[in-house]
Structure 1
Amino acid sequence: MRGAMEGKQVQWECINPKYKAKKKNYKNSGIVILNQCKVAIDFTASNGDPRNSCSLHYIHPYQPNEYLKALVAVGEICQDYDSDKMFPAFGFGARIPPEYTVSHDFAINFNEDNPECAGIQGVVEAYQSCLPKLQLYGPTNIAPIIQKVAKSASEETNTKEASQYFILLILTDGVITDMADTREAIVHASHLPMSVIIVGVGNADFSDMQMLDGDDGILRSPKGEPVLRDIVQFVPFRNFKHASPAALAKSVLAEVPNQVVDYYNGKGIKPKCSSEVYESSRTLAP
């Protein structure tokens, strides 16, 4: 598959190499629109006190901290593959106002009914606004946010169409504390139209994240159930701090196209053809 801009929507063309080689007039076998990219940010205490310059969440008046650098660099890449450029953005591992109870899936704009932010810049602004109001805490549980996105992806399966595919972008500083639940959540999510991109921030030990990636073997739930397909891509941001945007983009999106194809092929769902998408967008136009 390859991505292409068309108006405000970004579409993945599904290219069949065999058909392309045989047919001169072949364009594609259909398209898939990726129109839901959700962001989740680690606000656990292991990141350090935001008032301390050593913190990955350090509030500097003039320079972006490590999370902002990663969010902007990776987010702008994912933004190109989000059709409406609206990002539901969540945080996990912090005590949040007004009761200051620990939450692992709160909206960083504090609007649970509408957690969407306008573009990556909107996510940045929501992050900067909420950070001083939080108490960084713990533990580092990422299963709840995976389950939240999986719920949306599960509802999409009822359409029986290749129309929405969900991307969850998680930014975290390292070791997670709910590995068993996370493995269970990923195995469940591997049956749904979604992928998870985990970006490691800082210099911690990311061996757990690499295990979730599944590149070194098949990820299994605690009960031994294997993932239906690989849906996790782990990217240590420290390896790309001085790399070109193209190198980072290649790493971040390396596995997503095949993950999309594997899902729909496994379900026997054909991508929408261009004319269907045109008719749909024309019907919805004001």
Structure 2
Amino acid sequence: MPILPFRFCRHAHKHTQQRFLFSCAHCHDPFPASRFTICHKTEVVKNNLNPVWQPFSIPVRALCNGDYDRTVKIDVFDWDRDGSHDFIGEFATSYRELSRAQNQFTVYEVSNPRKKCKKKKYVNSGTVTLLSFAVQSEYTFVDYIRGGTQLNFTVAIDFTASNGIPSQPTSLHYMSPYQLSSYAMALKAVGEIIQDYDSDKLFPAYGFGAKVPPDGKVSHQFPLNHNPDNPSCEGIEGVLESYFHSLRTVQLYGPTNFAPVINQVARLAAQETDGSQYYVLLIITDGVISDMLQTKEAIVSASSLPMSIIIVGVGPADFLAMEELDGDEVRVSSRGRYAERDIVQFVPFRDYVDHSGNHVLSMARLAKDVLAEIPEQLLSYMKTRDIKPLSASPQ
């Protein structure tokens, strides 16, 4: 990914507002106007005849699609408030030519073809100086997986009374003879994809919000297999089996607390911060959250760890609280402290229910959207910590 700052100098003195526009050619022909695609526009520098634009970065694939000799055209405009920007001039270069300027300034003459045709003594409309050029390596999600980074998948299932009595058809946990419950379908759809990235296929699985035998106390973090010393289940089928067993042995109760299980996974993630492990917590819930403040605090704390949280909301509830935790629009905050990065992805299960009965296709779409942000979230953690793949070349 190249990073480039530019400075523009011009001969005329009547213009006071300049805009630099960066566009990339799709062929090697010189300036085929209909064949250029804009790949970057700089900020507007106002009231300055010799503007210096801020450095910017652009992926090599966007600049030249990997063709280092592909023509890159730069246009310079005089900015007007009404949008009728005046064209000052242009010049052509290429990624290869730009890269030669890594250790020295390079000056380009900005030419206006119309003026050049009309004026015999026309030289140029100014110059643009490339102040610096640097290339940064960008690693992909696959680079880290190939390099040995392990994904650790943990499941947490909502066992609160708001889901309805499991033996009743109105319950979100109800298992009909003909199809899985919404909880089981979501777990199977997501788990069967992510288990391919988990080498040992052992998944810690918890329930929360139920009264648990033998003493009947409410637990917000009970192992589905009822083994506190080893809460891991073998594969997604093992998780499903333990989930079905728990439905028959615990009493759905409440409240709906997310923080305990988030903090549990965060404690594990805090022990493995070298990039060798990355933790993914899947929470399946009916959306009626009780410990919002504590959950926000847990998410903010976990945002500095190698960890992501997926929340699948089942049922018809109002999921505004879940949307708030997602943090796509506004980063989650707690006590004046903002999450270091976005680690939560929320999707409502009802958006993926296929009423025509094609559950395979609808669950594939669910898994795709649920897992869409995991690669970028993993990369954001690795990048902020300057962690490189153990054995991989950048793409």
TM range (shorter): 0.7 to 0.9
Using the alignment, how far apart are the partners of 1:233 and 1:68 within structure 2? 19
* Partner residue of 1:268 out of 383, 386, 389: 386
Using the alignment, how far apart are the partners of 1:231 and 1:201 within structure 2? 20
Quote the residue 2:214 is aligned against. 98
Using the alignment, how far apart are the partners of 1:245 and 1:140 within structure 2? 25
Using the alignment, how far apart are the partners of 2:67 and 2:156 within structure 1? 44
Using the alignment, how far apart are the partners of 1:113 and 1:87 within structure 2? 14
In the alignment, is residue 258 of structure 1 matched against residue 371 of structure 2? no
RMSD over aligned CA atoms reads 2.2
Q: Which amino acid aligns with 1:252?
A: V
Quote the residue 1:4 is aligned against. none
* Partner residue of 1:189 out of 299, 302, 315: 302
Aligned ranges 1:1-286 → 2 under 5 Å: 18=60, 21=66, 30-32=143-145, 33-157=149-273, 161-221=274-334, 223-242=335-354, 243-274=361-392
Q: Which amino acid aligns with 1:236?
A: P
Bigger proportion of residues as strand: 2
Say which SS state the counterpart of residue 333 (structure 2) adopts. Answer: coil
Contact 1:35 1:84 in 2 (8 A): no
Q: Which has the larger radius of gyration?
A: 2
Report deviation, 1:274. 4.6
Greater relative contact order (Cα < 8 A, sep 6+)? 1
Show structure 2 runs of 5+ residues with no match.
1-57, 69-136, 355-360
Show structure 1 runs of 5+ residues with no match.
1-15, 276-286
Using the alignment, how far apart are the partners of 2:144 and 2:60 within structure 1? 17
Using the alignment, how far apart are the partners of 1:184 and 1:94 within structure 2? 23
Using the alignment, how far apart are the partners of 2:221 and 2:194 within structure 1? 20
Cα 1:27–1:204 shift into 2, 3 Å:
closer
Report deviation, 1:27. 11
Using the alignment, how far apart are the partners of 1:260 and 1:107 within structure 2? 26
Using the alignment, how far apart are the partners of 1:147 and 1:88 within structure 2? 14
* Aligned residue pairs, count: 254
Cα 1:245–1:129 shift into 2, 3 Å:
closer
Using the alignment, how far apart are the partners of 2:269 and 2:67 within structure 1? 36
Say which SS state the counterpart of residue 79 (structure 1) adopts. Answer: helix
Using the alignment, how far apart are the partners of 1:143 and 1:240 within structure 2? 27
Say which SS state the counterpart of residue 203 (structure 1) adopts. Answer: coil
Report deviation, 1:18. 3.9
Say which SS state the counterpart of residue 191 (structure 1) adopts. Answer: coil
Report deviation, 1:248. 2.1
Say which SS state the counterpart of residue 131 (structure 1) adopts. Answer: helix
Report deviation, 1:50. 1.0
Bigger proportion of residues as helix: 1
Residue identity (%): 56
Report deviation, 1:28. 6.3
Report deviation, 1:113. 0.9
Cα 1:270–1:127 shift into 2, 3 Å:
same
C-alpha distance after superposition, 1:116-154 (max 9, x if no partner): 111111111111111111010000000000000000000
C-alpha distance after superposition, 1:79-137 (max 9, x if no partner): 22222221110000000011010000110000011111111111111111111110100
Contact 2:185 2:363 in 1 (8 A): no
Using the alignment, how far apart are the partners of 2:177 and 2:329 within structure 1? 41
Say which SS state the counterpart of residue 261 (structure 1) adopts. Answer: helix
Q: How does the TM-score come out when normalised to structure 2?
A: 0.61
